[in-house]
Homo-oligomer: A and B are copies of this chain.
Amino acid sequence: MDQTLYTRPASIDAVKIHDSFFSRLMQTTVEKLIPYQWEALNDRLADTEPSYCIRNFKAAAGLTDASHGGKVFQDSDLAKWIECAAFSLMWHKDADLERRLDETIALIGQAQQPDGYLDTYYILNGLDKRFTDMMNNHELYCAGHMLEAATAYYHATGKRTLLEIMIRFVDYIDSVIGPEEGKKHGYPGHEVLEMALIKLYEITGDEKHLRLAKYLIDQRGQSPLYFEAEYKKYGNPYHWEKTGMGMKYYQADRPVRSQDKAQGHAVRAGYLYSGMADVARETGDETLVEACRKIWDNITHRQMYITGAIGQSKTGEAFSYDYDLPNALVYGETCAAISLAFFAQRMLRLQPRGEYGDVLERTLYNGTISGMSLDGQRFFYVNPLEVDPQRCEQNEQFRHVKPQRQKWFSCACCPPNLGRLITSLPGYVYHTRGNTAFAVLYTTNDAQLALSGGTLTIKTETRYPWDGVVTMHIENAFDGAQIALRIPGWCKGYALRVNGVAKLLQPMDGFIYLGVAQEDEIVLTLDMPVQVVRANPMVQDDIGKIAVTRGPVVYCLEQPDNGKQLQRVFLRADAHFETQWEPQLLGGVCTIRCMGDRLCFDDWAPDELYGTGAPQYRLQPLTLIPYYAWANRGLSEMTVWIHERLG
C-alpha cells in the first residue's frame, strides 16, 4: 500500500505538552490514578470490591493456589494499567514505576502457558474450555488489551519482553482462529484485538499480524453466524436473544461492510470501527474505508451527544437509533467516548479532514474527561447530560445514572481506559504526512516532528481552550515543510498572521495549509465567543432547549452556582454572556455568566398539580461551568440543555 496517502500521529515522545489544561490531567493521572489503580490491582483499596488482577496472574503462574477472582475479563484491567503507565514513561521518566512494570511483566511471562496461551480465567478454570465461548468470554479482548500494552511499553522503553510474550500468544491465536479448515472461523465477542494487531504490525511488519486483523474484520457477521453456531454447540448463554438487539449487540449480525449504522454495545462498536479504519488504512481497502465513513457519519451526524458521549441506552450500554438522544436517561459510558476518540484519530489518518479533528476535540474536552474527578480518584461510568440526584435515587429507571463519581467499579473498565487516553494525549496533537505537519489540537507544547524532508520543530503557546489565540514558533524548518492548521468547525471567524503579516488563506477540508520557514512566527486567532447551540429538530429531547458552548468546551448549569430545580431555568439565546477566568475554581476554568429566568410559582396554589395559570418568571443570574468539571462540589443537579426563553 502507498502509505504516503495516510497521516500518522506524531509519537508521544515527540510532543512535550506543558499547558495548564492537558498537563493537569496528565499530572493527575501520573500522581494519582496510576498509583491508585496499582493499589486496586493488588486488592489494597478499602471499601471497594477486590480486583483480583495480580492475584489471578500469581495463581496462573503457579505462585499461589488461589482461584480466579473477578470478571472473566479481569486481565484487561492490568493490561490497561500497563499501557497507561507505559505511555506516561514517554514524557515522565519514573524508574520505580518502570521497575514495577518490569516485575509485573515478568509475572505475566510466568503465567503464560508453554503453547503461548495467556488468559488467567481459563488457565485457572480449565484450558479445555478456552475458545468455546468467544461470544461472551473476552479471551480475545484481554489479548487485545495486553497486546496494546506490549506495544506501548516497547515504544516507551524499547524493551521487548512483553512484546515477545504477546507475539507468542498471537501465534497461538493464529493457530486456532482463521479461514483454514479445522480452525475456528470466529472473532472477538468484544473487539479491541483488531486495533492491537495493527499496532503490532506497525512494529513487526509481519504480514501475518495484518492478515489476522483483516480476517477478524472480514469474517465478523458472515453467514453462517459464528456466534450462533457457537452458543448452540456449547450450550452457552445468549443474553441478548430476547431484546431487540440480538447479534447487533456484538456488531455481528451481518458483515461489517453491510453495516451502515452504529449499533449494539457502544464500546465494542467504537473499537470495531477503529480496527476497521486501521485495517482499511493498512490494506488500502476502499470498501472498508467506505464502511468506516458511513458509520462515522451515522454516529457523528445522528447518534452523538453534544459532549461526544455515545451509547444512548443502558440496556446493553448500547446505541439505540438515529436522533434518539435522551439527556437524563443516557448511558454515555466513558469508555465509549474514548472509543470515539480512537475512531476519530484513525479517520484522521485515512483523510485529514477537519471534522474528524472536531469530534476528537469534542470528546477530549467534554465527554471523556468528565469521567474522572479533578482529584483523579473518582470516576463516572455513565456520563449524563442532565442529572437530578433525587431521580437517580428514587426512580429505579434512572438508577444506573450516578450523580456522583464512584471510587472504583467491580467492572473497572473506565478509569484505566481514561488513564491510557490521558497519558497518550501528546500523540493526538499532531499528525504528519510527507512534509506536512497537521496541527490537530491546540495546546502549549514543544514538538519535534519527523517529516519526510527532516525534522520540523514547533513551539506552540496558547491558553486554549480558554482563549483562541495560538502562537507557533517554527524553530527548525527545511525546504518544502508545511503546516496544516485545523480551523475548528465551531469557529466562525479567524485571523492568521505570519511574522506579523495577515494571510488570507481558505481552509481545505478544515485545514489551512501553510508553507513554513525557519523562525516563522505564526499567530492563529480563532474567534471564541460564547455560542448558543441548538440540536437538529429531529432530536426530540432537545427541542425547545439550547446549550451553551465556547470554543470546544460544552458548558452546563450546576446546582452549586444556580440552585436546585435547574429544569425551571430558562435562557434567552440573545442573553449577554460574560466570560471570566477563575483560576481557583475547579482546577482553573473559564466561567460564563448571564441573566436567565426562573419559572416561578406566583400563580400556583401550593397543592395544585395541574392548573390554568400562566407561566411566570423571575430574573436569575446564572453561572455556567465547563461540563467536564461538574460533580466536583458535592451532590448536585446539572443540565447541559437549558429551556430556551422566547417572547
Contacts and interface: CB of A to CB of B under 8 A. Distances in A.
Nearest to A607: B301
Contacts of A539: 609
A7 B494 CA distance: 78
Interface in A292-349: 297, 300-302, 304, 306, 312-316, 318, 320-321, 324, 326, 329
A388 B323 CA distance: 12
B643 A543 contact: yes
A592 B443 CA distance: 59
A604 B537 contact: yes
A389 to B, nearest CB: 11
A314 B610 contact: no
Nearest to A614: B573
Contacts of A300: 609
A645 B611 CA distance: 18
Contact of A604 (B243, B390, B394, B536): B536
A393 B301 CA distance: 21
A101 interface: no
Nearest to A302: B609
Nearest to A388: B540
A406 interface: no
A600 interface: yes
Interface stretch (A84-92, A227-235, A527-535, A621-629): A527-535
Given A297-B607, A533-B610, A544-B570, 11 more contacts: A320-B391, A320-B395, A324-B391, A326-B397, A329-B397, A532-B612, A534-B610, A534-B612, A534-B614, A535-B609, A615-B644
A399 interface: yes
A397 B397 contact: yes
B320 A394 contact: yes
A499 B395 CA distance: 55
A501 interface: no
A497 to B, nearest CB: 26
A396 B313 contact: yes
Interface in A589-646: 599-601, 604, 607-615, 643-646
A607 B320 CA distance: 18
B537 A600 contact: yes
Contacts of A570: 544
A565 interface: yes
A554 B244 CA distance: 33
22 contacts: A243-B399, A244-B393, A301-B607, A301-B609, A302-B609, A312-B395, A313-B395, A314-B396, A315-B397, A329-B329, A329-B397, A397-B397, A534-B610, A534-B614, A536-B609, A536-B610, A536-B611, A537-B599, A537-B601, A543-B599, A544-B643, A645-B646
Interface in A114-150: none
Contact of A316 (B329, B396, B565, B644): B396
A518 to B, nearest CB: 40
Nearest to A637: B540
Contacts of A393: 244
Q: Which of A300, A314, A329 has the most CB of B within 10 A?
A: A329
A322 to B, nearest CB: 9
A495 interface: no
A568 interface: yes
Query: Which of A316, A492, A536 counts the most B-chain CB atoms under 10 A from its CB?
Result: A536
A415 to B, nearest CB: 24
Contacts of A316: 396
Interface in A457-505: 492
Nearest to A324: B395
Nearest to A531: B612
A397 B610 contact: no
A245 interface: yes
Interface string A522-558: 0000000001111111111001100100000000000
Contacts of A604: 536-537
Contacts of A243: 396, 399
A647 B574 CA distance: 14
A144 to B, nearest CB: 27
A567 interface: yes
Given A394-B244, A567-B543, A646-B646, A536 B608 contact: yes
A618 B613 CA distance: 27
Interchain residue pairs A-B with the least CB separation, the first 9: A647-B647, A315-B396, A646-B647, A540-B567, A320-B395, A321-B394, A301-B607, A537-B599, A646-B646
A540 B644 CA distance: 14
B306 A610 contact: yes
B396 A537 contact: no
A635 to B, nearest CB: 15
Contacts of A532: 612
A565 B544 contact: no
Nearest to A299: B609
A38 B492 CA distance: 69
Nearest to A568: B537
A315 B544 CA distance: 29
